[in-house]
Amino acid sequence: MSAEKTPSPKPGDGPARPGRRTPLIVAAVAIVAAIGITAAVVGGGGGTTSANGSGSVAVVSGGDDTTRAATVLDRPFTKPGLVLTDTKGQKYDLRERTKGKPTLVYFGYTHCPDVCPLTMSNIAIAKKQLPKADQDKLQVVFVTTDPERDTPAELGKWLPAAGDPSFTGLTGAFSTIQAGAREIGIGIDPPKKGKDGKVVSMHGAQVIAFSPTTDQGYVLYGEDTSVDDYAKDLPKLIKGENP
């Protein structure tokens, strides 16, 4: 089990702690759907974050299908205005480089023992099942939450092994990365060294899908999303449709 940030069912409920987040998200959505109202989805410990940066929380669609991997947001997230450094050491403007393209964004780190490599691997395997033209359209962006260790060179070695050579790896100032993550409801904390000497990066494990037609983040996936889930949804995400 890697140390990841656990989203709180209520904005501002206590500090982040290691653990699994997706069951909490699913449980919250299930409860809300049962009483017929919408639910807030935020990165735990990061306070309430907004779909438009105004401070209000993003809202998820209601419904009674809690077995689906995808959570469709009623109020999509605006794509973060992140300008970071890619694996080639070049400036990478997230909004500019992914404009009009179906894009999956994930915040994680290369020393993560399980969730991060599994997420990248699942997406990579699902991507390979797409027609070549659709594979070329899909953008997968991995933003490190541990920039001190995750240099461009380190990301450049790790991403092809964990996922796919076409995936984009980004690093930069931690404060910039943290602010960008908050814009899409994902809380991250500065990496800390534990008593055993290991460095732990606390972060949310959500994958956010951005539409090629609106450039907004309208679908959220949790850490338990499988290869089959992604394989089923990617053709629709590439067209900007709801999964």
The pLDDT profile of the chain, 243 residues, written as one tens digit per residue, is 444 443 433 333 333 333 333 333 333 333 233 222 222 233 333 333 333 333 333 333 334 455 689 999 999 999 999 999 999 999 999 999 999 999 999 999 999 989 999 999 999 999 999 999 999 999 999 999 999 999 999 999 999 999 999 999 999 999 999 999 999 999 999 988 877 878 778 888 899 999 999 999 999 999 999 999 999 999 999 999 999
Say how far apart CA 195 and CA 238 lie, in whole Å: 44
- Could you tell me the end-to-end alpha-carbon distance of the chain, in angstroms, rounded to an integer? 29
Looking at residue 67, its pLDDT comes to 66
Looking at residue 202, its pLDDT comes to 83
**Residue 194 is encoded by which pair of tokens?**
């534990």
Looking at residue 66, its pLDDT comes to 56
Looking at residue 5, its pLDDT comes to 42
Looking at residue 47, its pLDDT comes to 31
Say how far apart CA 111 and CA 151 lie, in whole Å: 12
Say how far apart CA 221 and CA 240 lie, in whole Å: 15
Q: Model-level pTM? A: 0.75
Say how far apart CA 154 and CA 110 lie, in whole Å: 8
**Cβ(146)–Cβ(199) under 8 Å?**
yes
